Amino acid sequence: MGGFAQWYIQFLSDLWNNICEWFLLHISIIVKIFKTDWWDSNGYFNSLSNAMGSWNALDYIAFILVLIINIGFIALLFVLIFQLIKRYVKFVKREIDKDSLVEEVSLLNQKVVELIDEKNKILAMKVSTLGGGATGSLDYEAISTKKKGENESRFAKLIQVDQEVEENPKVTVMTGTDMLDMKELVDRFINFAASQLHLYYTKEIVARFFAGMATSKIMILEGISGTGKTSLPFAMGKFFQNEAAIISVQPSWRDRSELLGYLNEFTKRFNETDFLRAVYAAGYSDTINLIVLDEMNLARIEYYFAEFLSVMERPITDWKIDIVPTSEVQDPKNLINGKILIPQNLWFVGTANKDDSTYTITDKVYDRAVAIAINQRASFIDAPYTEAVSITYDYLNDLFERIKNGYALSDMAQKAFDELDEFIQAKFKIAFGNRITAQIKRFVPVYIACGFSEFDGLDYMLTYKILRKFEMLNLSFLKNELDELIVTLDKLFGKNEFKVSKAYIEELKKNS
């Protein structure tokens, strides 16, 4: 033990001596650099003094220039060091201030929580006094926060729908004059809107609307303001004798609660929206139901409408939306296990303006919807007085199915469209996809039945399903390919066909 202790003490002594020698060595080097090397007999100044005796004028000039450069470099170095120190001090101060603010915010949040708890206690005291022998009138705040009774439903509006249907059930009775084909349906709507509502629409727009109904449960009416986008579904509701529910989208909408409402945990009532009521009421209807999301791109559609976009990709039997996690005995009749069914006789029609105040509609939405461009008002139509129609959803849906089977694409048109698909994939790396192909097979037959050619239908779907995607490409490098696309369209379908697509391509070239 003594031997180890003696060795360890000697080891620490040697280590300390080495550390001291290291520091002394570095101190001596610094002294040598900044004192000895400058001032001793062989230092920098003596060396400079001895050398200057043999210099000429050019040497002195070079010496002065180098001296100025060196002094400037040293000054710049000191300035940079000063700036770094200053920034570091400022950064440290900012971080200290930030920590102080975070702490202050935390304290304020705690106070807010305490104030909310105190408010809830006060409200609970007010609720406890309601109906318990108090005389006189009750204040509005107390009434609004009164908890529902045991026999009251948390869904006041939906229960009201149940009661209205029970008291006055609506059944659509069709007569011979209501059993129209698509062409007659288009003409009758145009005359009805013109004669009774003083709203005017072209045959193309109305045909696209009906073909869109056959294609998807979501339609987007887009274009400049004031062209009648909102009035079209409004007029359709009047035409089918079942008024469209018009919901104004707000810029603050961020999630599904803006559409469907939410359960107030304090009052135990569900804050129902007009949108929820319209969806629920459509389940009782046997005719066409339209819900209009007016100016739908004021907020991000894929945020507040995301659940509907997802649900409608499932099989029809699974089109259900969760409203509340559990059901109660007093819940509405058709709210099964807290879920509401999206009925098949319901269409969502969104209107969209394209300006700086709105959000861009994403491909996720466009791929699932049918877009209808309305960029100008139709001219006045002197139409005869025309009555609305009484048409059930089953009749219209059966009409769509019969048209789909009777007006299928010709083999020639299908082959030419397949070649066009291959060309676009090769040149622009964009494919039609199974969803778009299925939509084309539903849209085009109905468009033909409305009085147009299959090329007209293919032209429109190509423009608003495929060419729309070109906007995300770097078109300034694809002008030759766009010219080739026009040539290919002429080759496959004829020079007088696909005018909408060609005009759209020319617009893309112009804006690229």
What count of other Cβ atoms lies within 10 Å of the Cβ of residue 89?
10
Count how many Cα atoms sit within 13 Å of the Cα of residue 482 in the half-sphere of its side chain.
Answer: 22
353 and 413, same domain (yes or no) = no
Question: Residue 498: its pLDDT value, please?
Answer: 94
Residue 198 falls inside a structural domain: yes
- Considering the domain boundaries, does residue 210 fall inside one? yes
Give CA–CA dist 508/331, Å, rounded.
53
Based on the fold, state whether residues 499 and 455 are members of the same structural domain.
yes
What is the predicted pLDDT for the residue at 452?
95
Q: Which domain holds residue 30?
A: 2-52
Do 336 and 416 belong together in one domain?
Answer: no
Domain-embedded: residue 439: yes
Closest C-alpha among 442, 411, 428 to residue 480: 428
Domain annotation covers residue 308: yes
Mean pLDDT of 259-270: 88
Tell me the pLDDT tens digit for each residue of 71-94. Answer: 888 898 888 898 888 888 877 777
pLDDT digits (tens, 9 = 90+) for 334-373: 999 999 999 999 999 999 987 777 888 988 899 999 999 9
- Gap between the Cα atoms of 151 and 131, Å rounded: 16
CA terminus-to-terminus distance, the chain: 89
Please count the structural domains in the chain: 3
Percent of the chain residues topping a pLDDT of 90: 53
Please say if the pLDDT value at position 219 is more than 50: yes
User: Is the dihedral angle over the CA atoms 77, 81, 87, 90 positive or is it negative?
Assistant: negative
User: Residue 193's pLDDT is what?
Assistant: 96
When mean pLDDT is compared across 46-60, 300-314, 476-490, the lowest value belongs to 46-60
pLDDT: which is higher, 234 or 317: 234
Residue 381 falls inside a structural domain = no
Looking at this protein, which amino acid is placed at residue 341? L
The phi, psi pair for 217, rounded to 5°, reads -85, 0
pLDDT level of residue 38 (50, 70, 90 thresholds): low
Tokens of 167: 């008291």
Whether 357 and 280 share a structural domain: yes
Instruction: Report, as an integer, the average pLDDT of 466-485.
Output: 89
Domain end call among 14, 36, 52: 52
Does 182 share its domain with 278? yes
Assess whether 205 and 334 both reside in one domain.
Answer: yes
* Cα R_g (the chain), whole angstroms: 39
- 3-class SS of residue 56: coil
In a domain, 165, yes or no: no
Question: How crowded is the C-beta side of 441, counted as CA atoms within 13 Å?
Answer: 12
Whether residue 418 sits in one domain with residue 294: no
Residue 50 has what pLDDT?
A: 74
Binned at pLDDT 50, 70 and 90, residue 135 comes out as very low
Quick one: 360 and 291 in the same domain? yes
SS3 380: coil
Q: Average the pLDDT over 121-138 and give the result.
A: 50
Query: What's the pLDDT at 145?
Result: 44
Please write the tens of the pLDDT for every residue from 310-330.
998 888 888 999 999 888 899
pLDDT value at residue 340: 93
Is-contact 244 236, C-beta < 8 A?
A: yes
Q: Is residue 118 part of a domain?
A: no
Question: Do residue 412 and residue 502 come from a single domain?
Answer: yes
Residues 312 and 182 both lie in one domain: yes
* Residue carrying the six token digits 């939405």: 365
Same domain, 359 and 411: no
The conformation of residue 133, written as its DSSP 8-state character, comes to S
**Residue located via tokens 């869904």:** 155
Q: pLDDT at position 95, please?
A: 74
